Amino acid sequence: MDRSQNFSDPSEDKDDKNGSTSRNINLGPSGNPHAKPTDFDFLKVIGKGSFGKVLLAKRKLDGKYYAIKVLQKRVILNRREQKHIMAERNVLLKNMKHPFLVGLHYSFQTTDKLYFVLDFVNGGELFFHLQKEQTFPEPRAKFYIAEMASALGYLHSLNIVYRDLKPENILLDSEGHIVLTDFGLCKEGISQAETTSTFCGTPEYLAPEVLRKQPYDNTVDWWCLGSVLYEMLFGLPPFYSRDTHEMYDNILHKPLMMRPGASNTAWSLLQALLEKDGTHRLGSRDDFNDIKAHYFFSEINWVDLEQRKVPPPFTPNVNSPHDITNFDPEFTGETVTNSVICDQTALMNMVWAAVCQEIFIFT
């Protein structure tokens, strides 16, 4: 399966009073006004998305390695995504307290770019390993799903719905533990008693209520968890089709068909998570506590798991703190220069840089 792309509805960025979009990007408490791109040696491209790229960087001051997300302000502004970017920043600031979420150290900005200085996690994307191995043994899949569930449960406890769980957004650290990344589609202020209705996500993993454009709550994350578990066990998402319209119809109407190769308890969990009616889905009553109580996880000591005391079933081949062998050559083969300091469009259009200075707040 090719890399799946997410999409979002910019309507969440509209001002509530008059429908206009805020033209300010304020980095708030994460902002470091003294930081600048020349503080770092940018070494390799290790990922990319809708608004920019993620690069491996070495801080000159102390030689520490970071993953720096470089975002194009011009693209953010044109797509009216300011609030999504700031929601991502808000979530990243809270992530440092959880072992399975990537953390933000600080952020800074130049005339045309935003820079998020993140933990460098170099065990590779789950997508990368799944592509190589096609499927995972059930015990390995169980370990990953348990750590993902813990991370999602933490976000839900902060009234944050993640909305984009997929193998491309799940990293392994050098020891083999899960680290969730990319919080661009997170929605804050969503408790179990509250809903949102924005049509966003990645097609293969959309819950039925999102497709129906119905109000939904954080149980969409448990649907995604079931989809990722299914993919780890069988190699593809549960309702996958190359024809997107057929895939959407499958998600809405096709029953989940049992397949050989998984235990009865795994199937029980899959059926409970991939329940098309979100009000009856596992997690709809008591959120993460429902997940923990399922007998698929009966052997999991959740306290030990969240203290990283449970040994990972697989250790990535990582030879150094800056090893990038577990990243896709599609990314690492790209040149770094234009991604970091000079934007070719900006070089050809100096007027745009002047406009940016007027419309963005620097903190």
Q: Binding site for ATP: what residues are annotated?
A: 69
Neighbours of 231 (CB within 10 A): 24
Angle between helices 219-234 and 138-157 (to 10 degrees): 170
Catalytic pick among 13, 112, 119, 164: 164
What are the angstrom distances between the C-alpha of 145 and each of 49, 62, 98, 139, 332? 24, 35, 16, 10, 28
Torsion of CA 11, 216, 101, 54, to 10 degrees: -30
Query: Residue 356: CB partners within 8 Å, gap ≥ 6?
Result: 73, 74, 111, 112
Return the amino acid letter for 157. Answer: S
User: Do the beta carbons of residue 10 and residue 249 sit within 8 Å?
Assistant: no
189: part of which helix (H) or strand (E)? none
Q: Which of 308, 282, 284, 281 is CA-nearest to residue 295?
A: 282
**Buried/exposed code over 99-130 (b: 16+ C-beta within 10 A; e: otherwise):** bbbbbbbbbbbbebbbbbbbbbbbbbbbbbbb
> Using H for helix, E for strand and C for coil, what is the string for 15-53?
CCCCCCECCCCCCHHHECCCCCHHHEEEEEEEEECCCEE
Phi, psi values for residue 201, rounded to 5°: 140, -160
* Separation CA 59–CA 126 (nearest Å): 27
**Active-site residue flag, 164:** yes
For the four alpha carbons of 304, 308, 309 and 314, in that order, the dihedral sign comes to positive
Catalytic residue positions, numbered: 164
